[in-house]
């Protein structure tokens, strides 16, 4: 998993509440187990018309937001099913941070497991960032995970955010669940060596 330390990029405003995971990535894309190639289908029903053409009014179809790496969203972002394809699609598009007043719990956890930082802020602060992302000539923000700060394009005071210390550690060091397990490789090897001697039948190969 790619570490998340400091991100500087375009922030796209998407002030919609209750954006569910089917809106983020429709169910027809769940056949794949690959984490790549889903960015084209991110927000498919919002981005594209029935004939496949882009909807010019949708934020990610407009400059400079086409290259956004930060998304500023509304309440209860990521609700609905638990599909991990939702953060996969965001990440494949290039989104590394989502800011919202609240997230669905499973989506929130899946973001951390895939290298995306979900930032929870009070609604009035999210509304402020939404306005700045909409009105600024250059809506570039910096998200500093180590300092837990958001540097705004207006040059005004930074906004602080809270994050779980363990999840912060994992993001900073690029550790997903497997990565955390592999940090204990020597302990696992030691246990298996002892068990192999005490119960060798557990390690016999079956013909």
Half-sphere exposure of 56 (CA within 13 A, CB side): 0
Please give the Cα distance from 170 to 132 (Å, whole number).
30
Q: How far apart are CA 69 and CA 99, in angstroms?
A: 11
Q: How confident is the model at residue 112 (pLDDT cuts 50, 70, 90)?
A: very high
Domain containing residue 175: CATH number: 3.20.19.10
Count of CB atoms within 10 A of residue 200's CB?
Answer: 9
User: Is 116 among the domain residues?
Assistant: yes
Count CA within 13 A, CB hemisphere, residue 39: 14
In sequence order, the 6+-apart residues with CB closer than 8 A to the CB of 77 are 19, 98, 100, 102, 103, 104, 107
Residue with more model confidence, 176 or 137: 137
| Residue corresponding to tokens 């190969």 | 205
Domain span at residue 183 reads: 6-203
User: Which has the minimum average pLDDT: 72-81, 168-177, 198-207?
Assistant: 198-207
Report the candidate in 153, 73, 155, 151 with the shortest Cα–Cα distance to residue 116. Answer: 73
Q: Please give the full DSSP string across 167-195, using - where no structure is assigned.
A: HHHHHHHT--HHHHHHTTHHHHHHHHHHH
Given a cut of 80, whether residue 188 has pLDDT beyond it is no
Could you read off the pLDDT of 143-163 as tens digits, one per residue?
999 999 999 998 888 999 999
- C-alpha span between 60 and 12 (Å, rounded): 7
Other CB atoms within a 10 A radius of the CB of residue 88 amount to: 25
What's the mean per-residue pLDDT of the chain?
91
Q: Answer whether residue 36 shows pLDDT above 60.
A: yes
Both structure tokens of 93: 């598009």
| Predicted structure pTM score | 0.86
Q: Percent of the chain at pLDDT above 70?
A: 92
Highest mean pLDDT among 33-37, 81-85, 172-176: 81-85
Tell me which residue has tokens 């919002």: 46
Q: How confident is the model at residue 92 (pLDDT cuts 50, 70, 90)?
A: very high
Mean per-residue pLDDT, 122-134: 97
Structurally, how many domains does the chain consist of?
Answer: 1
pLDDT of 22 = 95
The answer to whether position 32 is within a domain reads yes
Does 181 have pLDDT greater than 60?
Answer: no
The verdict on residue 1 lying in a domain is no
**pLDDT average, residue stretch 134-142:** 95
pLDDT value for 187: 72
């Amino acid at each position: 998993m790619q570490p998340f330390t400091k991100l500087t990029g375009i922030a796209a405003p998407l002030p919609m509440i209750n954006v569910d995971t089917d809106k983020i990535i429709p169910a027809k894309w769940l056949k794949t187990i690959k984490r790549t190639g889903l960015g084209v289908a991110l927000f498919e029903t919002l981005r594209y018309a029935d004939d496949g053409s882009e909807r010019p009014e949708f934020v990610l179809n407009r400059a400079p937001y086409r290259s956004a790496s930060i998304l500023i969203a509304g309440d209860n972002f990521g609700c609905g099913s638990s599909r991990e394809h939702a953060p996969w699609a965001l990440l494949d598009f290039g989104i590394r941070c989502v800011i919202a007043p609240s997230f669905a719990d499973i989506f929130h956890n899946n973001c951390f497991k895939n290298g995306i930082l979900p930032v929870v802020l009070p609604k009035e602060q999210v509304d402020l960032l939404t306005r700045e992302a909409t009105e600024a000539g250059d809506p570039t923000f910096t998200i500093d995970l180590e300092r837990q700060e958001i540097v705004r394009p207006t040059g005004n005071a930074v906004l602080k955010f809270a994050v779980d210390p363990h999840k912060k550690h994992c993001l900073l060091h690029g550790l997903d669940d497997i990565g955390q397990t592999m940090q204990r490789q020597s302990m696992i090897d030691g246990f298996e060596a002892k068990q192999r001697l005490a119960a060798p039948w557990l390690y016999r190969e079956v013909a």
